[in-house]
Structure 1
Amino acid sequence: MTRQISERAAPSTALLGAGRSGNTVAQPIRRASTLLFDTVADLDRAKAARFDKGTEFYGRFGTRDVFAFEEAVSVLEGAEASLAVPSGLAACVLPFVAFVKPGDHVLIADTAYEPARTSFVQYIARNNVEVEFYDPTIGAEISELIRPETRLIYLESPGSMTFEVQDIPAIAAAARARGVMTVCDNTWATGYFCRPLALGADISVQAATKYIVGHSDAMLGTLSVADTELLTPLRQAANWLGYHVSPDDVFLAARGLRTLPARLELHRTGALEVASWMESRPGIRRVIHPGLSSHSGHALWKRDFTGSTGLFAAVLDITDRAQAVRFVEALRHFGLGFSWGGFESLTLLGDPSGARTATRWTETGTLCRFHIGLEAVADLIGDLDQALASAGLGETVAA
């Protein structure tokens, strides 16, 4: 049986039933390479429609469990259709492969995810595509950077590591007026707290590795489109690159979707509590969290987002790297590692200055990124407190 979900249902309710069919609660895993057909005519029809949404042709193009997950992601993002790919980076790069050609010009937010930035500069640009970075706070003034040969604008809001909030509606409107496509990395907000497509973007991409999977045990990316006409070129480009998503990873991501709203609420409240505590803590020069009124983009965030997640940054009152290393290595409840979005709290030292061209990072101090997991907030605050003291940043105070 297929569950019928009311269009008026809350997002958390809709996600519980999205993309589900059959008589099992959990979507079954279907591992397949070869798919069999009853007749040559059936095979020929499938081949002709292999890039269409929901067509089963060959395992690399997807099976029913993959299509069911993509349908659920469309519900999350408020999209006409979605496509799953092997990683978040794959999702970031695929629109460029699908829609950008030699001689085109593209505009990239200067605060974009650094591996994506590297791919644009070292892979996309070598195909005679001009890659230009722009200040993420530019808003409607981006129209001044759009040329006749501009094909695509790539946004990420909030920005990677430094969390600048972009004016998505203004940029999307300026782009649409000139016939330019917009792609927005929505990994931070997931579709639950922000829907870039509703704000005017053409494509929303996510590293489903992060919050959708939610347990740091699978890699996956998603692309969601506002117009189904965009889906076929993306599926064709995915085929050119030989992209295929593991059915086991799709199973984990589909399972993660069902608990996404509950987990995000815990990430949201925990991160806001920790970030607010940090703002009053000696040793912290500045906290960078869009959900705080102190953030320069807070008004935009409040207008376009319905909540915040667990990822933010702080500038430590430290200029000596060895002292910063002492701080992160003294943490007991925070893992030290890349990625985020799982149940565990993480931290990472960063230096954005080497990955900027349109803007400059001139902050005095050391940037430290935090992901607040599902641990008790009091334990995390106590841990941060003792680590700051271990690094010589003031005396330990009560949490």
Structure 2
Amino acid sequence: MARDLSTELIHHAYKPPAGFAAPQEPVHKASTVVFPNVAALRARDWRNKNGYTYGLHGTPTTFTLEERIATLEGGTECVLAPSGLAAVALVGQALLSAGDEVLLPDNVYGPSLQLARGEFARWRITHRLYDPMDAAGFAALLGPNTKLVWLEAPGSVTMEFPDLAALAAAAKARGVATALDNTWGAGIALRGFEHGIDIAMQALTKFPSGGGDVLMGSVVTRDAALHERIKLTHMRLGLGVAGNDAELVLRSLATMPLRYAAQDAAGRALATWLGQRPEVAQVLHPALPGSPGHEHWQRHCTAAAGLFSVMLHERYSTQQVEAFVDALQLFRIGYSWAGPVSLVVPYELTAMRSASAAHQPHLHGHLVRFSIGLESVADLQADLAQALERALR
């Protein structure tokens, strides 16, 4: 029977030959997934990745990315989220109920703390802050309602590196789950599962993407039952990522070790140079001696991200510090990190956390954070030098 052209264009008989192979993974995009028959519809289970049921539950592109991120972290299972913060929220929603408590390090990523103060508080989930540098006193903070401990290595902005293994062991002894924000370590410098953590979360926005143009997060586990809880919550929340975004991350993974190493080397060189400048009171870089928790970094890590902070001397005014940041020409003012462009942000510590925290006696002065990109180290150093001379002399 002859069919109308409009029907023929939709239900065309041609199928391209199988066997097309190329270096890059293809992009599969779909909401609807077509089944060959009713038996297939009833038999497929998206939870085990033995087939495809609906675009939100995975495509060949997202399944491939999940498997590679699981390998990167040294885990077995992975789910993807629309951002790093969405991945943080997913872990909390999967593991916490009304009446439960989550412990956060005092130097936690700011939006994670706002999530606990906002949505979690409204759901009657409480939180407390702990000193991440006091591993000896940590166990005493674990109460009967504590169900989740977040770990950061290093801490956000102030870069203290905790005794990650000791904190994870104390939580495990009390049967409390631990989740590590491993965005900094990225599975290259640090693999949290090797130190006893239960969940590894990353903002794939950073190193795995590498271009400063993708928002995505991941949650990786080794324990099947724990993964099942997270996967079901992930499904019920309707979390998904775009096929084109997944493709961009897949394409960037191949160069990730090279980029990480280059930014590590550049970051250490510039941090060391800044530490010799008279305007700088202290450099906060876990891989450098004298930075808080450097000895813990030595035991846990094999490398370091190209991210560090400096404390400029208290003798400078806020206006002078801002003038220094504004005078930089190659460093762009902006949040995030791990992209090709070097970034800088000044922070007001008093608005972020308690200045009297036991692990922060070193934080006197003005904090400026640098993310080192892929520009020439000599050019970046020259830019820092001219801005220091211009604004702080």
Normalised by the size of structure 1, how large is the TM-score? 0.90
Choose which of 334, 340, 343 in structure 1 pairs with 2:340: 343
Would you say 1:162 and 2:158 are equivalent positions? Answer: yes
Partner residue of 2:55?
59
**What secondary structure, in the 3-state scheme, does the structure 1 residue paired with 2:255 have?**
helix
One-letter code aligned to 2:379:
D
Would you say 1:324 and 2:321 are equivalent positions? Answer: yes
Choose which of 226, 231, 234 in structure 1 pairs with 2:227: 231
Distance 1:150 1:25 in 2: 47
Would you say 1:373 and 2:373 are equivalent positions? Answer: yes
- CA offset digits 1:169-200 (Å, max 9, x no partner): 11111111111000000000100110011110
**What secondary structure, in the 3-state scheme, does the structure 1 residue paired with 2:127 have?**
strand
One-letter code aligned to 1:388:
L
Contact 2:324 2:390 in 1 (8 A): yes
TM-superposed CA distance for 1:378, in Å, is: 0.6
Distance 1:44 1:321 in 2: 64
Note the 1:198-213 alignment, pairs <5 A.
Answer: 198-213=194-209
The alignment yields a C-alpha RMSD, in angstroms, of: 1.5
**What secondary structure, in the 3-state scheme, does the structure 2 residue paired with 1:89 have?**
helix
One-letter code aligned to 1:224:
V
| Count of residues in Structure 1 that have an aligned counterpart in Structure 2 | 371
Larger radius of gyration: 2
**What secondary structure, in the 3-state scheme, does the structure 2 residue paired with 1:159 have?**
coil
- Where in structure 2 are there 5+ consecutive unaligned residues? 1-18
Structure 2 vs 1, CA of residues 36 and 107 (structure 1 numbering), >3 Å: closer, same or farther? same
Distance 1:386 1:55 in 2: 58
- CA offset digits 1:242-274 (Å, max 9, x no partner): 211011111111111110000011000000000
Contact 2:264 2:305 in 1 (8 A): yes
Would you say 1:81 and 2:40 are equivalent positions? Answer: no
One-letter code aligned to 2:204:
A
Distance 2:243 2:288 in 1: 39
Contact 2:168 2:197 in 1 (8 A): yes
- CA offset digits 1:286-345 (Å, max 9, x no partner): 100000012121110010000011000001125412111110111011010011110110
Note the 1:244-259 alignment, pairs <5 A.
Answer: 244-259=240-255
One-letter code aligned to 1:153:
V
Contact 2:56 2:240 in 1 (8 A): yes
Note the 1:1-399 alignment, pairs <5 A.
Answer: 23-46=21-44, 49-53=45-49, 55-318=51-314, 319-356=316-353, 359=357, 363-393=363-393
Normalised by the size of structure 2, how large is the TM-score? 0.91
Distance 1:53 1:90 in 2: 22
Distance 2:336 2:50 in 1: 31
Contact 2:46 2:58 in 1 (8 A): no
Contact 1:316 1:366 in 2 (8 A): yes
Give % identity.
37
Distance 1:77 1:245 in 2: 19
Distance 1:345 1:165 in 2: 23
Report the more deviating stretch, 224-233 or 354-363: 354-363
**What secondary structure, in the 3-state scheme, does the structure 2 residue paired with 1:276 have?**
helix
**What secondary structure, in the 3-state scheme, does the structure 2 residue paired with 1:183 have?**
strand
Distance 2:329 2:308 in 1: 19
One-letter code aligned to 1:215:
G
Contact 1:54 1:67 in 2 (8 A): no
**What secondary structure, in the 3-state scheme, does the structure 1 residue paired with 2:346 have?**
strand
Partner residue of 1:397?
none
TM-superposed CA distance for 1:140, in Å, is: 4.2
One-letter code aligned to 1:376:
S
Structure 1 ranges of 4+ moved more than 4 A: none
